Structure 1
Amino acid sequence: MTSPLAQFLALHGADQATVDQALSLAEPLELPTRHVLINQGELATQAYFLIDGLCHACYITADGKTISKDFFWEQDLLIGFESLLTEEGSPYLLETLSPCLIQTLPAELILRWRDGMPALYMALTERQLLFREQKEQFMRLYSPARRYALFTDSVGELATHITAPQLASFLNLSLSQLDSLQRHLAASGK
């Protein structure tokens, strides 16, 4: 049986030697809820392939406010490209929101793919860019109710691990707006 990481890499253009190398360097982790993978300000030394579970990236402001950046779930490769490319600390914190099964890859392996496997590296960066473009469309083109419905449908049962403040921040709503939206949807049977 082929591992999910091997399938993911092959799907994105990795040859068998590259897949084998990645698998030989990958470290499996079984992590509990609320485990910090990268602290804001730390240099990202690992990339994380999420096999099972839910992760959350967020910014923490100087006054301690948490602003949700992204959520990640099964079959996502979490690469802190900004930290990786600038060799500076991560601009956000990355944590688990549910028990997670993850395989880590050394960050330097991702950088080696830039020169040694440019097609794979390009596919991964294009995937990241496409994700960003789709998120921008999601945030700008859809009403709060539509964003809520699309997001909760896409994460399915994992949504139970997301707190109201995290969800409100991600959807760019206040807590009272989210509460009002949820009450309206519950009253309308949606």
Structure 2
Amino acid sequence: MATIKIYIKNMVCDRCKRVVAEELRALGYTVIQVGLGEAELAAKEGEVDLERIREVLQDNGFELLDDRKTKLIEQVKLALIELVHKGEEAELHVNTSDYIAEKVGLDYNYLSNLFSSFEGITIEKYLILQRIERVKELLVYNELSLKEIAYKLGYSSVAHLSNQFKKVTGLTPSHFKQVKTEKRKTIDKVQE
């Protein structure tokens, strides 16, 4: 049987994957696999009602992606989200440009220029914003020291983490931990 891959924006967690799989099955499709930002269906191109899928996805807060460049940008975002929120500590100490190029399978310079032109920020800035959201999450959990958080997220030092945190949030990590007034953002909204 033939397969078709669809790409989906705002699909950034395991719960998202579960919702998408359930909705696609409810529409009568055989779902082969669902990953972050994509789903593979057992179907031929003409057998898939993309407009119906688009409607169902929108009802659940997702967006069906059509354009190749948009799909690439989503792949970059998902790779960075995966790296920061699910990656192993060793992965966070690798060269980001090499990691992205390998994950997406294209030249990093091309992806970087494409990302910046569509998103209005650089890949590096997006990565920083994702890391700061993860720092906030770990601070709220209160299970790790700042030194452990810095190491876990690939910062060279606690000072580097603290400086970057203050630059992005306006608060020091310790002040954030005390007041917790700055609400955390969902990982798909960090640049807004």
TM range (shorter): under 0.3
Greater share of strand residues, 1 or 2?
1
Greater share of helix residues, 1 or 2?
2
Taking structure 1 as the reference length, what is the TM-score of the superposition?
A: 0.27
Taking structure 2 as the reference length, what is the TM-score of the superposition?
A: 0.27
- Greater RCO, CA 8 A, separation 6+: 1
Larger Rg: 2
